[in-house]
Amino acid sequence: MHDELVDHLTRSTPLNRGEALRVIQDVLAYFDETTQDFVRRRHRELQVQGLVNAEIFERIEADLRYRAVAPPELTLRQLRRMVYG
């Protein structure tokens, strides 16, 4: 799986094959995350940092603009519903 990319990383970085494969798998998993999973994860992370919901949902709304695959534009209400149902 992704042998050409693994080879490239092992040539261009100090990573060995196992490390390069783990990095690739982590990156793919990050970009495979659904919008709903991203919103929930970021909400938890920002809560831990002590932010309140008004700040959290504005931050998430801004973060979504920079995802690799742009999701549909979501309202603050839609973001809240993803977290709280």
State the Cα–Cα distance between residues 75 and 17, nearest whole angstrom.
43
Count CB atoms within 10 A of the CB of residue 79: 23
What is the pLDDT at residue 66?
84
Nearest to 78 by CA among 43, 47, 26, 30: 43
> Are 73 and 44 members of one domain?
yes
Taking residues 19-44, report their average pLDDT.
Answer: 91
Q: Is the pLDDT of residue 1 over 80?
A: no
Please state the pTM of the whole predicted model.
0.64
> Are 55 and 70 members of one domain?
yes
State the Cα–Cα distance between residues 44 and 42, nearest whole angstrom.
5
> Are 68 and 28 members of one domain?
no
> Are 38 and 71 members of one domain?
yes
* pLDDT tens-place string over residues 43-78: 999 999 999 999 999 999 999 888 876 567 889 999
User: Is 29 or 72 the better-scoring residue by pLDDT?
Assistant: 29
> Are 79 and 45 members of one domain?
yes
